[in-house]
Structure 1
């Protein structure tokens, strides 16, 4: 009798995506010093858009009039999230930037929760985020915090629109539409930083970073969101600050304090608890729609 292989758990795809994103962010620090945060984000998105167009044909025939706004909105949210977060890294440590950015999906998890009991996990994650940021220590870099908050707003919007768009378009075909839109939006910020002193040697570096983010993790997140609730996915993202601190320690030698390690434990606990009830029935396939 032939064995039926179970698909990978949705939470495992989300965790793998988070690790790739943090590694890409850490490795981007060197490129940021050469072409700026906007230029780095732009190059990553351009290469990511080209790769998605090569491996997945956009399903233009399925686009309905009501699909246009979510698709455009997801592209804009992706651009804002990418440019703002890398801009934050110019001012604050990786783990701190991720912790502040996490407030975006945390808000999504709390607002969209259908169960009062599930609100306990976002609350616990919030405590961990506060411990990770340590606002009582020294002077706060308001510019870095501002960029991280803007990235958080983009991240929360990205989660909402990714699930909405992912329910309409199968596989990663939606990314072949939204990532090019994000690259186009980032052009206004990134191109002025890259073109004046263009050096072709940054291109292979940007290509490698694009594979780490957005190509592989965004594809994994799209698949995960088709089988998870907003609340479960948003709270599972509480693991992101933990990965940010750990990757910052290993790659960038940014040493966390004892209090920050406690914060890591709290967000990991909240994320692990949330994924236990995070299964979501995939949306049914719809018939191809005419051109919008």
Structure 2
């Protein structure tokens, strides 16, 4: 039985938001560490090394039987690997030019767009808009950079995050050979191969102590973070996970305070509260919907069983 199947339907929304929080903390804290390597190795070089170390770790843990992948499995893992590598590169290119909090905020707009796709009722749309308003409150007072190229890279990261959010669920629901961490490990390996020219260019400039930092960035900031994100999408839906990803700007703000000593304007903290409330509302609705769906499915099966006996 997979991890997803072990989690009761009524708790899947809560489990998903906890997974997103863990992944966001891992991602944002290691992103702050990664910036210390940009001057010598470059953003693309650090990105490639990050993908490489994450791929080695995930392949060693998952040991996927990739020769058993179906054509559909390969389509999913290759697409996910391409999107993940693009998001990785654009994110670091943006962080190298504009503040981390602003980059994360702009990137979240990709997940927000996915959240809007799943809107079925006005109330759901209000939750998504509330999360977006919170993001604007966080970003607005902090935007002081005029580096347009940095904003362009952040926008490309946002577009990649939209694709990443949509494809993450397919990684968790493929055939047994490619489901879960097995498919994820192959996807990250594909991304590492795509970024191998940048990785090869960065390695000659590394010192021995860099490898420990790169390993931390890859294993914690990518392997763990991406695994948590994929789990969240599998437990709920791309739309629900898209709203949960609004917690990323919150986490990046807290990381800035704790690790970098960066205090935010009062309006930004109001935005944090609004995002948390929106995320909590979506979590509750996800839990309720999953429980109702499970109950409805169970009742239909019971009716079918009774009719089968009578027949």
Same fold by TM (over 0.5)?
yes
Is 1:229 equivalent to 2:237 in the alignment?
yes
Is 1:198 equivalent to 2:203 in the alignment?
no
Is 1:150 equivalent to 2:156 in the alignment?
yes
Cα distance in 1, alignment partners of residues 197 and 88 from structure 2: 13
What TM-score, normalized by structure 1, do the two folds share? 0.87
Looking at CA atoms only, which structure, 1 or 2, has the larger radius of gyration?
Answer: 2
Cα distance in 2, alignment partners of residues 212 and 170 from structure 1: 21
Cα distance in 1, alignment partners of residues 261 and 185 from structure 2: 35
Q: Which residue number in structure 2 is paired with residue 275 of structure 1?
A: 283
Distance 1:16 1:195, change over 3 A: closer
What TM-score, normalized by structure 2, do the two folds share? 0.82
Q: Whose helix proportion is higher, 1 or 2?
A: 2
Q: Once the 2 structures are TM-superposed, how far is the Cα of residue 264 of structure 1 from its aligned partner?
A: 1.6
Distance 1:137 1:213, change over 3 A: closer
- Select 1:258's aligned residue among 256, 266, 283: 266
**Which runs of 4 or more aligned residues in structure 1 lie more than 4 Å from their structure 2 counterparts after TM superposition?**
5-8, 135-139, 279-282
Distance 1:138 1:180, change over 3 A: closer
Q: Which residue number in structure 1 is paired with residue 40 of structure 2?
A: 34
Q: Once the 2 structures are TM-superposed, how far is the Cα of residue 206 of structure 1 from its aligned partner?
A: 0.3
- Select 1:175's aligned residue among 184, 198, 208: 184
Please list every run of 5 or more consecutive structure 1 residues that lacks an aligned counterpart in the other structure.
283-292
Q: Is the 8 A contact 2:109 2:158 kept in 1?
A: yes
Please list every run of 5 or more consecutive structure 2 residues that lacks an aligned counterpart in the other structure.
1-5, 295-311
Q: Is the 8 A contact 1:84 1:148 kept in 2?
A: yes
Q: Which residue number in structure 2 is paired with residue 119 of structure 1?
A: 125
Aligned length: 277
- Select 1:69's aligned residue among 64, 75, 92: 75
